[in-house]
Amino acid sequence: MRKYVYQTILVCCLSGALPAAAQDLHFSQFFNSPLSTNPANTGFIPDGNYRIGLNYRNQWATIPVPYKTMSLFGDFQLLRDKLEYGWVGVGGLLLRDVAGSGNLTSTKAYGSVAYHQLLGQSSLLSAGFNVGYANKRVDLNKLTFSSQWNGQFFDSQMASGEPITQPSTGYLDMQVGMNYAYFPNELVYINGGFSVHHVNTPKESFYDGNNKIERRYIGFLNASLKMNDYIILNPGAYYARQAGSSETMVGANAAYNLSGDGVQQLFGGLYYRVNDAFAFMVGYQVNNIKLMFNYDVTSSSLAISNKRQGAYELSLIYLGLYPNRSFSHAKRYTLCPSF
């Protein structure tokens, strides 16, 4: 029974405290979730005209109820042939995560717009924003509270004593961001960006209170370095801060040219989330479809409880071109190093 009580307390802490007070949802593959990282990434697709992506993360699988995060996004370019030195990006993003014994569920839908302006022949400046609606709900029938402990077990018929006024809450949400890309030649590409999430600090509470979501600040830096005709190195760093809590991730992955012409590529990499976990990553790309998988091994003190089984994550990205273009044609105009 004591073990069950400890697990209940742990699950309540994880599902209740982390998403609201410490961190929004996050992906180890931040570079494969561009619209949730920065709205200025909308329509920034160096090798194509549109893309569709899917992300799935299952975290803390060893606790009774793991934390599951899902994302679906799509974006495309407009006016690429109309504007001589820029284009417009338009896209959409769906986010959903479920946590804890009470099925604490968050569902968010955003529409995103960005403008991309070439600065000379070797750099690009982007700015964008998204606006959407978020809903969070909890199944109160699946939760138990300390006041319901009768000395032997939790009695759900007893009053919880909690001042919960509603099982769900919703709000309007907005993010803004800027990016800068530098590509002096076909071998080097550097991209950095900064975004502010929850700009309007919306109210979110199951209680009759004025609990506002703190702004979340995200910065990232990516690079792509072509080492030779068979290897492209992709180092990256990510930093997020919200409500006094922060997340820092650094690492790199490398693409290996399996087929000689870049049609088939194999990926391998390692990232480190500071004071939390190591993320081991593998992936495979064929033509315009890329699948990547990572497994996070916990390195913090939580490793004792979860046996170092932190999380696993999948991403699937489809890159598309408009009917009058081919991938061989697009590669001649790519901003990033390519095979």
Reported as a single tens digit per residue, the pLDDT across 44-101 is: 998 889 999 999 999 866 666 678 899 999 999 999 888 888 999 999 999 999 876 6
Q: Decide if 339 is inside a domain.
A: no
Question: What is the number of domains present in the chain?
Answer: 1
Q: Decide if 176 is inside a domain.
A: yes
- pLDDT confidence bin for 22, thresholds 50/70/90: very low
Mean pLDDT highest for which of 10-19, 191-200, 299-308?
Answer: 191-200
**The predicted structure's pLDDT at residue 8:** 38
Q: Decide if 137 is inside a domain.
A: yes
**The predicted structure's pLDDT at residue 302:** 63
Sequence-ordered list of residues with C-beta below 8 angstroms from that of 204, at least 6 positions apart, any chain: 20, 134, 136, 169, 171, 211, 212, 213
Which secondary structure element, helix H or strand E, spans residue 215, and what is its range? none
* Cα–Cα separations (whole angstroms), residue 225 to 54, 286, 293: 26, 20, 22
Q: Decide if 43 is inside a domain.
A: yes
Q: What is the mean pLDDT of the chain?
A: 83
What percent of the chain clears pLDDT 90, i.e. is strictly above it? 58
Helix (H, G, I), strand (E, B) or coil at 290: strand
Which secondary structure element, helix H or strand E, spans residue 327, and what is its range? helix 327-331
Q: Decide if 313 is inside a domain.
A: yes
What percent of the chain clears pLDDT 70, i.e. is strictly above it? 76
Give the range of the structural domain holding residue 91, as residue numbers without chain letter. 2-331
Sequence-ordered list of residues with C-beta below 8 angstroms from that of 72, at least 6 positions apart, any chain: 53, 54, 55, 93, 94
Q: Decide if 337 is inside a domain.
A: no
Cα–Cα distance between 18 and 67 in angstroms, integer? 11
Q: Decide if 113 is inside a domain.
A: yes
* Cα–Cα separations (whole angstroms), residue 176 to 105, 213, 306, 310, 312: 24, 16, 36, 31, 29
- Does 279 have pLDDT greater than 50? yes
pTM: 0.84
Q: Decide if 280 is inside a domain.
A: yes
**pLDDT for 173-194, tens place per residue?**
999 999 999 999 999 999 999 9
Answer for the pair 233, 252: CB distance below 8 angstroms, yes or no: yes
Residue 222 belongs to domain with CATH number: 2.40.160.40
